[in-house]
Structure 1
Amino acid sequence: MPVVLVVVAAVVAFGLYLWLCGLAFVYVTFPVSLLATGAGVATGVLVALAVTFMLLLGDQDERVRAPADVVAGKLPIVRTPKAIRPDSAWPGYFVVQAWLDWWVAVERVSRVTAGVWAGAAEGGMAAGWFTLALWPVVLPIVVFLLAGTIGAAGAMLLVAVALTVLALAGWVLAVVAVALLRGLDRLARLVRRSSGTCPHCYETSARPVYQCPGAHGDTAMHRDVRPGLLGVFWRRCGCGRRLPTMVVRAARVMTAYCPRCSAPLHDRAGLATDVRVPVFGAPSSGKTHLVMAGVVGLLRGPSPAEVTLADEHSRRTYDNFAQVIDSGGSASKTDAAHQPIAVTLRFRSGRREALLHVYDAAGEAISDAERNTEYFYLDGARTLVFVLDPFAIPAVRQRFRRTFETLFRTANASADLPEPSYQNVATRLRKSGVRTERQQRLAFVVSKLDLVRRLPGLDGLPDDSDAIRAWLLDEQMDNLVQAAERDFREVRYFAVSATDARLGRGPVAPFAWLLADEPIPLPGQRNPGESRADETTKA
């Protein structure tokens, strides 16, 4: 009987428990679970967004793609030629960092969610069977945790969708902006005819290397400042300094260097119009004296622009030039063992600025097929000057050499024929792929006008292009004339005396004609031996 009573009591108690559980489920568990679902979803979303925003607001994880990763090549999307190390700069946020931040946020939200579940499970295990007995009360907690997990996962999914949309929009806008800015940058440099010419190795680069003003070693060099994956309008250097993109902007505030030999370039290289004028011809043809008289005349002559010497080397060279011109002396022979003499003048007029590089290489060196391959300035020159010694013309030499031997010695007549000295350079340009007939202009200069006029029948030789051309043809130089006019887009003939600027149009005339086709203020002409003080006195 007692056993029966115990069983009946147990059944009644269990039935009462189930009835109470049913009442609790209907009136407590279900409505509370509904509330727990909403609260859990909201909590999960808020936690996920809070973690994400904390990350974006500066609570960075160790997985940040820094400039060192760019330099080390850990960003395959940021590609540069294998021979060039990528610049030390922060990549654009949507290049790779946005996805890393999202993944770090997912990991952090997962850790928070897993921690809450682990805490709840630990509490349930500690309560033991009591947790199972109070399942109507525990169930809303489980629902809350599940809803929170789903809410967090949904929030991170929404963040991923929003990030994808923003990234796609950012990439589209960035690609358009990069294409537009690169096009404007290139157009500006084409209109200005700007580039960077190295005074050391003579390399001509459309995009020089620019140095960040910050002090941080060799990583300060930025080899490609065009808009791109490292920044559209601005880039952030590894040192934290903000730098402008585009060559025409970087050249205003950063120091330029040669990408080939790392030598410093002239100020505003890459922005200023860059004009290279190689002067070539046979040894003793009068190249060096023409360069001297031309440079001195350009610097001393009247001009709408401010003309100055661009560097200390040019200043020292100019001082030597001016001393020879003012004293009426003779130019020393150019040493073939040394690099070509290069003098750089800077023209400024308002916002317009130009660099004029005049090169004088020894005739023996520039005629050497092996050595002249190192003269990179020839390839990028739009304007060249060929100097012909009239005393080296075979017909002139044959008629007058014996009779006027003293005059030939005074003229230091070139022993080499004019045509090979021209063909050596023309062949060098063709082998380098330069289409001279499309772009280059040639000033064809007959030198030593003051001396050649002492020869019978040549005392009236004028400094007129057509007349000089006709005279060259009469002197059986038609092969050379035809070759020059075939090889170059435009040829103009000059007869010049570097020692007496009163004859003809003066030694500045060939340079002035060449500069007339460049986007810089055209200088006037004056006797190179006449200083500005002399002109003021005359006025």
Structure 2
Amino acid sequence: MPYVIAFVVILGIAIFVVWIAFIYLMRLLGFLIACSVVVAAFTFTAGLLWGVVLPIRVLRGRASVTPRVATPQLIRDGQIFKGAPRGAAREFGWDAAWPLYVPYQLRFDAAAVRGEAALLVEDVRGLATRWWPTSDKVLLQALLSVARFLLLGIPAYAYILGLFSGIFLWMTIVGVIQALVVSAQWITTRLLRIRESRHMKKHAATVKCTRCYRETNMPSYRCLNPQCPRIHRDVNPGPLGIRTRICECEEKIPLTVAAASRALTAHCPFCDAELPRGAGSRRVVVAPVFGSVGSGKTQFLATTATALHSMSEDEGTPTGLSALTPAAEQFLANSVEETSAGSAPLKTQHHDRPEGYPFLITGHGSDVELHLMDAAGENFVHSDSSRSLGYLDLSTSLLFLLDPLTIPEVREQLTLSGVGVQVAQGQASDAYASVVDRLRDSGEDLRKKKLAVVVTKADVVGQIFASEPLPEDSAGVRGWLYSHGGDNLVRRIEADFQEVAYFGVDSTPGVSARSASHPLRVIDWVLANGGAEPLSAGPVDPPSPGTDAPDELNKEAAHS
């Protein structure tokens, strides 16, 4: 019995001691939890503030993780944009330029912020466990783990939660700003493209290369930096820039053709030939001449260039003339010099792909780029010889220079008159067919083109037919040809083309620019058909086939 009593007393004392120890342990645990919560509140705040500061450190390069840079090389490697470019650069790949910061570089910056946050989380978690003691005893290790969680774990996780809360707040704000910026960029891009399209349409702006004879509405542009060899193929607003773009060499490039053409050197996107300054921002009118060897093509163009030069030098006229290429400048200088000397220009050398002469004409409404396209008569012997003259396809107006002295009836009168003058080689109908047949074979609809039949050597005709010179109006010239042996050619021409105008031209040096037989009258017709303002005389309305000839000739044409 005494042993039982002693056991009960001892058990009670042990239970009491354990209870007291448990109470104190709970108090200690409660104290630790309270302290941990207070510390966690501070660490959460610290983490929140650091989460806001962390992106700034990353962007300033003061963090462990460096943002990846969206370089032009990554664009070429296909790591920035999805898919190949559209538009003018689709055959060349993306231009060598830096992409917009929003959203492309911003994606890399956000990834760097997330990477830096992940490293910081690993550091915090390691700090919470690295120096805490451990034990092989299970019970002691459990107590140490609980203590570690209370003293370090809760504050550490609170810091991490604050850190991610700060970063999430930053990314939310950035995401909203990005959405607004991207929307503004999209709207601005569309508005700029619409304005550019209206500008191009208003001025009928285009590019027609005088070397490869190809046409485009988007020239290529060389970087403004003279040391940079890069060429930008598409200067439309887009992912590489809205109003300006940054070339790979970090030079600013103005965007839209209207802006780029004022500052940059343009190149043909097909042959890379350098284009005249301002190419792509103005109307281009091509005046392509063709005809037999010796029909007067070069003389016609030389007289035209000289007259334009004289008009630009005359203070009483608003016309301004600028040669846009070295070839045009040399042609103009030679034409002026030969006209002053009263000599005829040298025969055009035979080239399979002759270079045209572009001139900028100002002072008559919008600026106009006039291309005088000349080729040796050897190019018009047969259709194959004219196949390389692609500029004939570019223009809606063609100038067929006809030497009337090649018509047998007129040639006979020339012989009888004794007038000594050079006569074009071959038949005019062969030169005409060499171009028309080639155009038709290539699929061109001749009914959509306009033809000017330019009867040259009007001065010689006046000597041969003193009482019957070449008339000054289109119907009169047509009637003269019809009644002097050119009826078959006239019929064929009017069967091929829906709109035909006839001119009698005197291209000899010294002919007055005000004369109705001056080549400028033909150029006015070409400009009017191209939508530009005429320079001197009003444009000649092309007659419908056969309607402007004398009645008896119309009846004969209809009967034939």
Q: Distance in 2 between matches of 1:3 and 1:395?
A: 155
Out of 489, 509, 513, the residue aligned to residue 521 of structure 2 is: 509
Determine if contact 1:194/1:271 at 8 Å carries over to the other structure. Answer: yes
Give the aligned partner of residue 356 of structure 1.
370
Q: Distance in 1 between matches of 2:470 and 2:144?
A: 124
SS in 2 for 1:84: coil
For the pair 1:283 / 2:293, whether they are aligned, the reply is: yes
Determine if contact 1:198/1:204 at 8 Å carries over to the other structure. Answer: yes
Which one-letter code corresponds to 1:94 in the other structure?
Answer: V
Q: Distance in 2 between matches of 1:368 and 1:95?
A: 59
Q: Distance in 1 between matches of 2:96 and 2:155?
A: 48
Out of 379, 395, 407, the residue aligned to residue 381 of structure 1 is: 395
* Distance change in 2, residues 1:39/1:517 (3 Å): farther
Q: Distance in 1 between matches of 2:14 and 2:370?
A: 110
Out of 65, 68, 78, the residue aligned to residue 63 of structure 1 is: 68
Q: Distance in 1 between matches of 2:481 and 2:44?
A: 95
Give the aligned partner of residue 339 of structure 2.
325
Q: Distance in 2 between matches of 1:3 and 1:209?
A: 105
Shift in Å, 1:462: 1.0
Q: Distance in 1 between matches of 2:443 and 2:47?
A: 67
Q: Distance in 2 between matches of 1:334 and 1:254?
A: 33
**Residue deviations 1:69-127 (CA, integer Å, cap 9, x gap):** 22344434262356414211111223532222212211110100111101111122469
Which one-letter code corresponds to 1:48 in the other structure?
Answer: G
Q: Distance in 1 between matches of 2:265 and 2:189?
A: 23
Q: Distance in 2 between matches of 1:351 and 1:110?
A: 65
SS in 1 for 2:289: strand
Shift in Å, 1:507: 1.9
**Residue deviations 1:469-495 (CA, integer Å, cap 9, x gap):** 233344464565466556657433210
Q: Distance in 2 between matches of 1:72 and 1:371?
A: 45
Stretches of structure 1 lacking an aligned partner (at least 5 in a row): 526-539
Which one-letter code corresponds to 1:52 in the other structure?
Answer: P
Correspondence 1:89-488 to 2 at 5 A: 89-125=97-133, 129=140, 132-133=143-144, 135=146, 138-139=149-150, 141-218=152-229, 220-301=230-311, 302=314, 303-337=317-351, 339-340=353-354, 342-349=356-363, 352-367=366-381, 369-370=383-384, 372-397=386-411, 400=413, 403-404=416-417, 406-407=418-419, 410-418=421-429, 420-430=430-440, 434=444, 437-438=447-448, 440-456=449-465, 459-475=468-484, 477=486, 480-481=489-490, 484=493
SS in 2 for 1:124: coil
Q: Distance in 2 between matches of 1:16 and 1:349?
A: 108
* Distance change in 2, residues 1:27/1:357 (3 Å): same
Q: Distance in 1 between matches of 2:275 and 2:474?
A: 37
* Distance change in 2, residues 1:368/1:62 (3 Å): farther
Which one-letter code corresponds to 1:86 in the other structure?
Answer: W
- Larger relative CO (CA 8 A, sep 6+): 1 or 2? 1
State which structure, 1 or 2, has the greater radius of gyration over its C-alpha atoms: 2
Q: Distance in 1 between matches of 2:386 and 2:67?
A: 54
Stretches of structure 2 lacking an aligned partner (at least 5 in a row): 538-560
For the pair 1:45 / 2:48, whether they are aligned, the reply is: yes
* Distance change in 2, residues 1:472/1:24 (3 Å): farther
Q: Distance in 2 between matches of 1:20 and 1:158?
A: 43
Q: Distance in 2 between matches of 1:493 and 1:351?
A: 26
* Distance change in 2, residues 1:319/1:53 (3 Å): same
**Residue deviations 1:179-229 (CA, integer Å, cap 9, x gap):** 2222221321232233334444344332111122224543x3111111111
Q: Distance in 1 between matches of 2:304 and 2:331?
A: 13
Determine if contact 2:353/2:388 at 8 Å carries over to the other structure. Answer: no
Give the aligned partner of residue 532 of structure 1.
none
Shift in Å, 1:44: 3.3
Give the aligned partner of residue 537 of structure 1.
none
Q: Distance in 1 between matches of 2:167 and 2:496?
A: 68
Shift in Å, 1:401: 6.4
Shift in Å, 1:51: 2.0
Determine if contact 2:365/2:533 at 8 Å carries over to the other structure. Answer: no
Shift in Å, 1:169: 3.8
Which one-letter code corresponds to 1:190 in the other structure?
Answer: K
SS in 2 for 1:347: strand
* Distance change in 2, residues 1:117/1:482 (3 Å): farther
Q: Distance in 1 between matches of 2:435 and 2:426?
A: 18
Q: Which deviates more from structure 2 when the two are superposed, residues 184-193 or residues 37-46?
A: 37-46
Q: How many residues align?
A: 518
* Distance change in 2, residues 1:487/1:15 (3 Å): farther
* Distance change in 2, residues 1:211/1:152 (3 Å): same
SS in 1 for 2:288: strand
* Distance change in 2, residues 1:366/1:161 (3 Å): farther
Give the aligned partner of residue 535 of structure 2.
523
Q: Distance in 1 between matches of 2:310 and 2:180?
A: 57
* Distance change in 2, residues 1:43/1:476 (3 Å): farther
Q: Distance in 1 between matches of 2:525 and 2:494?
A: 17
Q: Distance in 1 between matches of 2:385 and 2:16?
A: 113
Which one-letter code corresponds to 1:21 in the other structure?
Answer: L
SS in 2 for 1:278: strand
Q: Distance in 1 between matches of 2:59 and 2:380?
A: 61
Q: TM-score, normalised by structure 1?
A: 0.83
Which one-letter code corresponds to 2:370 in the other structure?
Answer: L
Shift in Å, 1:452: 1.8
Determine if contact 2:386/2:434 at 8 Å carries over to the other structure. Answer: no
SS in 2 for 1:454: helix
* Distance change in 2, residues 1:47/1:462 (3 Å): same
Which one-letter code corresponds to 1:176 in the other structure?
Answer: I
Q: Which deviates more from structure 2 when the two are superposed, residues 116-125 or residues 324-333?
A: 324-333
* Distance change in 2, residues 1:300/1:124 (3 Å): same
Out of 5, 26, 38, the residue aligned to residue 22 of structure 1 is: 26
Q: Percent identity?
A: 26
Q: Distance in 2 between matches of 1:473 and 1:14?
A: 135
Give the aligned partner of residue 536 of structure 1.
none
